[in-house]
């Protein structure tokens, strides 16, 4: 005797629902921006495309591209509206038109540069005269695109800009970590670190400081202990990093100088010490 058809349908539907509950959720493939370290899980730190343009159609296009690559989007019709809500700590990039109501795109760029904001700036504008483009690029713009812009090119440029911002902020955080670590040392220990790059031996450092070699060795030992280092070579490498951080402190504008080729992004790499350096 065959079971009733209704009963068979109920069993089949129950089985399908059970399989659906137990089936693992498909994890979407990460975008290139996420692989470079942009946190998409924490919405407070989500990379955002900030866009200032009075043209609603252009804002809608950039919004659609941002959504397609799972980035946040914040559009503004005027420059002042953007400046009133701007938060420097928010990662992402800024897309500007040149001619916008109130504060112009070039003025916004100059303001952010004066504030030492790390937010990358690119222009998307119909006003792409030679003088305007040169002025924007000299002021540190990553790219200058002319309206109407190819969507594929704009998609690639936005991804590269956000990737640049993620890499740049990571390097700035590393430089800040080095500065704070160096501040753990007292003035005498800091003097020893500074002289590591000028002298080849402990004897020369002692002579420069007008102290004994034993005193320099004791200070070096305390430095290694405070910094958690194990060798003279590691300490020398740290001294190179400190010198690099201090050079940026004397010329903070270097932190805002992107390469105009998006294939070479970020501030200069921290130098490595010479291989044949003996204490």
Whether 58 contacts 147, CB under 8 Å: yes
Lowest average pLDDT, out of 144-158, 194-208, 238-252, goes to: 238-252
Lowest average pLDDT, out of 20-29, 58-67, 134-143, goes to: 20-29
E strands, the chain, are 48-52, 72-76, 92-96, 121-125, 143-146
> Which token pair is 150?
């190819």
Task: Taking residues 127-149, report their average pLDDT.
Answer: 88
pLDDT at position 53: 92
Closest C-alpha to 234, from 220, 248, 247, 246: 220
Task: Taking residues 164-182, report their average pLDDT.
Answer: 87
Tens digit of each residue's pLDDT (9 = 90 or more) over 114-135: 888 889 999 999 887 888 899 9
pLDDT at position 176: 86
Tens digit of each residue's pLDDT (9 = 90 or more) over 70-87: 999 999 999 999 998 888
pLDDT at position 32: 40
Domain ranges of the chain: 44-169, 184-256
Query: How is domain 44-169 classified at the CATH fold level?
Result: Rossmann fold (3.40.50)
Query: How is domain 184-256 classified at the CATH fold level?
Result: Arc Repressor Mutant, subunit A (1.10.10)
Task: Taking residues 249-266, report their average pLDDT.
Answer: 44
Lowest average pLDDT, out of 10-14, 45-49, 140-144, goes to: 10-14
Task: Taking residues 136-164, report their average pLDDT.
Answer: 90
Task: Taking residues 37-54, report their average pLDDT.
Answer: 65
pLDDT at position 38: 32
Using CB atoms within 10 Å of the CB of residue 258, give its burial: 0 to 12 exposed, 13 to 18 middle, 19+ buried.
Answer: buried
DSSP, collapsed to helix, strand or coil, labels residue 48 as strand
- Give the confidence band of 11 by pLDDT, cuts at 50, 70, 90: low
Domains 44-169 and 184-256 share a fold: no
pLDDT at position 74: 93
């Amino acid at each position: 005797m065959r079971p009733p058809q209704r009963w068979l349908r109920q069993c089949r539907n129950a089985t399908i629902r059970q399989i659906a509950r137990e089936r693992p959720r498909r994890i979407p493939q990460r975008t290139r921006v996420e692989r470079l370290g942009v946190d998409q899980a924490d919405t407070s730190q989500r990379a955002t495309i900030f866009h200032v343009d009075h043209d609603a159609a252009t804002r809608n296009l950039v919004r659609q591209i941002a959504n397609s690559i799972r980035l946040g989007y914040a559009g503004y019709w005027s420059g002042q509206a953007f400046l009133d809500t701007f938060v420097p700590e928010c990662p992402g990039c800024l897309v500007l038109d040149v001619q916008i109501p109130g504060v112009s795109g070039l003025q916004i760029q100059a303001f952010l540069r004066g504030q030492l904001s790390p937010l990358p700036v690119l222009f998307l504008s119909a006003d792409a005269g030679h003088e305007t483009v040169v002025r924007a690029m000299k002021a540190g713009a990553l790219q200058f695109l002319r309206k109407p812009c190819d969507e594929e090119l704009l998609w690639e440029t936005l991804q590269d800009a956000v990737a640049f911002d993620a890499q740049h902020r990571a390097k700035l955080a590393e430089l800040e970590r080095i500065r704070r670590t160096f501040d753990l040392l007292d003035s005498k220990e800091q003097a020893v670190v500074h002289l590591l790059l000028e002298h080849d031996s402990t004897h020369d450092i002692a002579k420069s400081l007008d102290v004994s070699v034993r005193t320099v060795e004791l200070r070096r030992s305390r430095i290694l202990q405070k910094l958690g280092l194990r060798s003279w070579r590691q300490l020398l490498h740290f001294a190179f990093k400190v010198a690099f951080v201090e050079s940026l402190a004397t010329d903070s504008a270097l932190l805002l100088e992107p390469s105009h080729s998006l294939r070479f992004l970020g501030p200069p790499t921290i130098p490595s010490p010479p291989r044949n350096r003996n204490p």
